[in-house]
A and B are shown apart, each in its own frame.
Chain A
Amino acid sequence: MTGLLGTMTHNPQLNRNGRLQHLLTTEGLPAPVLLNILDTAESFMGVTERDVKKVPLLRGKSVFNLFFEPSTRTRTTFEIAAKRLSADVVNLNIAASSQSKGETLLDTVDNLSAMHADMFVVRHSQSGAPHLIARHVRPEIHVINAGDGRHAHPTQALLDMFTIRRYKRDFHTLRVAIVGDILHSRVARSQIHALTTLGVPEVRVIAPKTLLPAKVERLGVRVFHEMAQGLKDIDVLMMLRLQQERMLNARLPSTEEYFKYYGLTPEKLALAKSGAIVLHPGPMNRGVEIDSAVADGSQSVILPQVTFGIAVRMAVMSILTGT
């Protein structure tokens, strides 16, 4: 049986013409849509490298960064991306303002819409909050998910894809491993959908059983619990951040034991293919999920990821506004 009126079941990111209306998740987006974002980002790389780092594509547009959950890095990269497109940017840390006064999420959105917002960049602790907003706003307003609960973080996944393509070229020949707390990770979910859509033949997840969600293999990944097996023949390693609170609710005994079995050290990295690259969405816990020698080593592409992130977010914003 299918849900009501199709509104809850059709892909809410694409409009009737199949164009991108919102970016909420990488799930369900066709490969050409993802590749178009990567190609457009490629064209913005020139902008980010020249002296005058601005193009007028979003001149006169207002971008509201709606952060219901604290974030410095992601919010800053969205802000820089919007400003390089000449948009006006308003940053709102809602956690500290209206929500604490009892205003509902959609009330907040309505009020900001009345200030003629053209785009909302939303981060929220609850999975699905950006979907709710996207269903609610007027059709001329675009919503970008900047991370919702454990659900999705599509721009992070897209910048990861951009990074992989820059260093490895062809998705169709790669073996990729995602290592760490898959259960709580919105980044991992978005990476898995993007990788499988772009034709990566083998995506692996490597984690202890307490950090894997039920039936994760249905997302199209192979499950490993041990680094030695999981890293064999791997071209790309995508590390995930481990939150300290995982120790509190008995999912892990200690960061030390986690590091010993799942932390990426030069020895473990040597188990992968010789030219393998290492990604991390940041911020890193050195000595927990990754050793400094790897993070700062020759196979790490963690800092380029941050640079590419700006071009990718510029691409998403310009595509959404049709410029």
Chain B
Amino acid sequence: MKLHIQNGRVIDPGSGLDGVMDVFIAAGKIIAIGDAPSDFHPNREINAQNLVVCPGLVDLSARLREPGFEYKATLESEMVAAVAGGVTSLSCSPDTDPVLDEPGLVEMLKHRARSLNQAHVYPVGALTQGLRGERLTEMAELHDAGCVAFGQADMSLPNARIMMHAMQYAATFGFPVWLRPQDAALADGGVAHDGEVATRLGLPAIPVCAETIALSNIILMARETGATIHLCRISSAEGVAMVRVAKSQGLPISCDVAANHIHLSEMDIGFFDSNCHLVPPLRGLGDRDSLRAGLLDGTIDAICSDHAPVDEDAKLLPFAEAEPGAIGLELLLPLTLKWAAEMRIPLPAALSRITANPARILGVDAGYLSLGGAADLCIFDPDEYWRVEPAMLQSQGINTPFLGMELEGRVKYTLVNGNIVHHD
């Protein structure tokens, strides 16, 4: 299959390439950008006038719900959602049932994902067996099976000694450790930020120190053990400040934020909107503003979708009992563009947060455009408005705080290895 993508604004955040030009694809690779190679006869032409052509998006946190939670979503449905959102590489968390703590499960997931021939799936393996925080998993074996990093999903490690050993062991092999900073005891039972809204609504709360105390442990141990750390879904202003200091000291730490958290705050819970029951909780407006600023100055490297499809019945419950999470794969691009527009950030810089930067954190060959590189592309209309509603979403879940709202930026084509896997 030979493809000719015409007249698009081609943006490669990694190299700084930005201009209206053509892209030529053959045998799954980009063979030319700009002028046509001699003797090129495309099977198909895509008119990308007024569209942006950029590397396929890279998402650091998507729950595909397989194995074990197929009633919430299936690999099929969520892989379609991924490419509909322009995501061509994603990492999935180990909190499936069974937990991704055995090589066989990882191989099966990789195989299932490959056979669907859509986005590339990079599993994060469980750091401890069953995510119970007691015994380490066979990380080297899991790595051979395809895990790119090791983490605890939303389960906290019960004590500092286990965290220390897990980091030391991972550092032995150079495996990155992905942790969402949260102290289990301080967060226990909480469902909302310990602020004005939880006080007003009478919701059990999670204080900011649940994040910062865990963050402090992680940073100190990263220094001690030399482990490469990725901090998942930071939520507070104080947390951002701590990461900024740690990075300035040269520690090998990276950090992401969920797309919802750079736009929403505790105020959006309104009268108990269970779609705003998220993990970590939506915090105060000041926290949200610090997340936005931290993302701008590079303290936070990447935006993730934190995609978590939840079946409708599990959301039609009182706020605290409703299952936390929101879908995000199909909102990652528009929510990133919204942040960029509100912060007056040029498009290439915004796109780096969902392409080159997360690819670097994942340590995979993705997130850039280059001659001879895989033709994983996202082609989107930066100006098209669309309403977030079930008919417009491919994910099996429709749980998002943005339901009913208009967002700007719509993915028109997604290419993986030169194949058109999505066309709007």
- Which chain A residues have a beta carbon within 8 Å of chain B's beta carbons? 1-5, 8-9, 11-12, 27, 104-106, 124, 126-129, 131-132, 136, 148-152, 186, 189, 213-216, 218-219
| Min CB gap A237→B, angstroms | 22
Contact (A149, B199) CB under 8 Å given A1-B263, A126-B320? no
Within 8 Å by CB of B270, from A3, A126, A129, lies A3
Is the beta-carbon distance between B403 and A4 smaller than 8 angstroms? Answer: yes
Is the beta-carbon distance between A127 and B268 smaller than 8 angstroms? Answer: no
Q: How far, in whole Å, are A311 and B96 apart by their CA atoms in the complex?
A: 54
A-B contacts, 15 of them at CB < 8 A, read A1-B265, A4-B275, A4-B401, A4-B404, A11-B271, A126-B318, A127-B320, A128-B201, A136-B316, A149-B202, A150-B203, A151-B201, A213-B198, A218-B199, A219-B200
- Which chain B residues have a beta carbon within 8 Å of chain A's beta carbons? 194-196, 198-205, 207, 263-265, 268-273, 275-276, 313, 316-321, 401-405
Is the beta-carbon distance between B318 and A132 smaller than 8 angstroms? Answer: yes
A-chain residues with CB within 8 Å of residue B271 when the two chains form the complex: 8-9, 11-12, 128, 131
In the complex, the chain B residue whose C-beta lies closest to that of A215 is: B196
Contact (A214, B273) CB under 8 Å given A1-B268, A4-B402? no
Is the beta-carbon distance between A213 and B205 smaller than 8 angstroms? Answer: yes
Is the beta-carbon distance between B202 and A186 smaller than 8 angstroms? Answer: yes
In the complex, the chain B residue whose C-beta lies closest to that of A2 is: B268
| Min CB gap B207→A, angstroms | 7
Which of A9, A11, A124 gathers the greatest number of chain B CB atoms within 10 Å?
A9
Is the beta-carbon distance between A27 and B403 smaller than 8 angstroms? Answer: no
Query: How many inter-chain residue pairs (CB < 8 Å) link A and B?
Result: 98
Within 8 Å by CB of A214, from B207, B269, B320, B321, lies B207
Is the beta-carbon distance between A126 and B319 smaller than 8 angstroms? Answer: yes
Is the beta-carbon distance between B401 and A3 smaller than 8 angstroms? Answer: yes
Contact (A189, B275) CB under 8 Å given A3-B401, A105-B317, A126-B320? no
| Min CB gap A241→B, angstroms | 15
A-chain residues with CB within 8 Å of residue B264 when the two chains form the complex: 1
A-chain residues with CB within 8 Å of residue B275 when the two chains form the complex: 4
Within 8 Å by CB of B318, from A1, A11, A105, lies A105
Q: How far, in whole Å, are A128 and B317 apart by their CA atoms in the complex?
A: 9
Contact (A132, B316) CB under 8 Å given A12-B271, A213-B205? yes
**Which applies to chain A's interface (DSSP): helix, strand, loop or mixed?**
loop
Contact (A214, B194) CB under 8 Å given A186-B202, A189-B200? yes
B-chain residues with CB within 8 Å of residue A152 when the two chains form the complex: 202
A-chain residues with CB within 8 Å of residue B195 when the two chains form the complex: 214-215
Q: How far, in whole Å, are A3 and B265 apart by their CA atoms in the complex?
A: 10
Which of B318, B319, B402 gathers the greatest number of chain A CB atoms within 10 Å?
B318
In the complex, the chain B residue whose C-beta lies closest to that of A152 is: B202
Which of A27, A215, A218 gathers the greatest number of chain B CB atoms within 10 Å?
A215
| Min CB gap A304→B, angstroms | 27
Q: How far, in whole Å, are A126 and B272 apart by their CA atoms in the complex?
A: 11
Q: How far, in whole Å, are A127 and B263 apart by their CA atoms in the complex?
A: 25
New A-B pairs, 13, CB < 8 Å, besides A128-B271, A151-B202: A1-B268, A3-B268, A104-B313, A104-B317, A126-B318, A127-B202, A127-B272, A136-B316, A149-B202, A189-B200, A214-B207, A215-B195, A218-B196
Q: How far, in whole Å, are A1 and B268 apart by their CA atoms in the complex?
A: 7
Within 8 Å by CB of A4, from B265, B316, B317, B405, lies B405
Q: How far, in whole Å, are A8 and B268 apart by their CA atoms in the complex?
A: 9
| Min CB gap A6→B, angstroms | 9
A-chain residues with CB within 8 Å of residue B321 when the two chains form the complex: 126
| Min CB gap A135→B, angstroms | 8
In the complex, the chain A residue whose C-beta lies closest to that of B264 is: A1
B-chain residues with CB within 8 Å of residue A8 when the two chains form the complex: 269-273
Q: How far, in whole Å, are A215 and B313 apart by their CA atoms in the complex?
A: 33
Is the beta-carbon distance between B199 and A214 smaller than 8 angstroms? Answer: yes
Is the beta-carbon distance between B199 and A216 smaller than 8 angstroms? Answer: yes
A-chain residues with CB within 8 Å of residue B403 when the two chains form the complex: 4-5
Is the beta-carbon distance between B201 and A219 smaller than 8 angstroms? Answer: no
| Min CB gap A191→B, angstroms | 13
B-chain residues with CB within 8 Å of residue A150 when the two chains form the complex: 202-204
Is the beta-carbon distance between B205 and A127 smaller than 8 angstroms? Answer: no
Q: How far, in whole Å, are A151 and B201 apart by their CA atoms in the complex?
A: 5
Q: How far, in whole Å, are A2 and B200 apart by their CA atoms in the complex?
A: 17
In the complex, the chain B residue whose C-beta lies closest to that of A12 is: B271
In the complex, the chain A residue whose C-beta lies closest to that of B193 is: A214
In the complex, the chain B residue whose C-beta lies closest to that of A218 is: B196
Is the beta-carbon distance between A131 and B263 smaller than 8 angstroms? Answer: no
In the complex, the chain B residue whose C-beta lies closest to that of A149 is: B202
| Min CB gap A109→B, angstroms | 11
Is the beta-carbon distance between A214 and B202 smaller than 8 angstroms? Answer: no
Q: How far, in whole Å, are A3 and B264 apart by their CA atoms in the complex?
A: 9
| Min CB gap A179→B, angstroms | 18
Q: How far, in whole Å, are A106 and B309 apart by their CA atoms in the complex?
A: 21
Pairs of residues from A and B, 7 with the lowest C-beta to C-beta distance, nearest first: A150-B202, A151-B202, A128-B272, A126-B318, A8-B270, A213-B199, A8-B273
